[in-house]
Structure 1
Amino acid sequence: MSFDDVHRFLEGLLGEDLHAKRILSLAGATLGVIETASLAIGAIGQGLALARGRLTKHAIKQVDRMLSNPGIDLDVVRRR
């Protein structure tokens, strides 16, 4: 599964409810979870780095920022 596949799926699911940049962040984190089968922030970041060819440090930081973003309303995501 590629990043583009995950992004297209989430965009179709959440495109009306979330800003495009937030959907990109969710797609990256989702891909990280798929790669590592873990919900630990560090592991998600490592999976994202592995899948996207990025530095682990930056990917972990990206996941951490996404999870602390108040603009991503989990209640909206769960309703889908």
Structure 2
Amino acid sequence: MGSVYLARHAPPGPRNVALKVLGDEMSINPDMVRRFQLEGECALDLKHANLVEVYETGNDEGPTTSRRSTSTGSISEN
């Protein structure tokens, strides 16, 4: 559906995040854009020890979601 990048999120404090970006081929389909946005919006409200926290959703240069980065080790180690 898209790609995930390790990125730096500034506010409220600098931290690494996993930035999920909707792929170009999907971005031209309004239904896929809405599904991607809905996934991010729903995930904002989910809080559980076994889930990766979503910090925010956006649409600056295309639909994105930023999540807590778990780039090393398991989720329980981060």
The verdict on a shared fold, with TM-score over 0.5 as the criterion, is no
Q: TM-score range by the shorter chain?
A: 0.3 to 0.5
Q: For the pair shown, which has the larger CA radius of gyration, 1 or 2? A: 2
Instruction: Name the structure where helix makes up a greater proportion of residues.
Output: 1
User: Scaled by the length of structure 1, what TM-score is found?
Assistant: 0.32
Instruction: Name the structure where strand makes up a greater proportion of residues.
Output: 2
User: Scaled by the length of structure 2, what TM-score is found?
Assistant: 0.33
User: Comparing both chains, which one has the higher relative contact order based on Cα–Cα distances under 8 Å and sequence gaps of 6 or more?
Assistant: 2
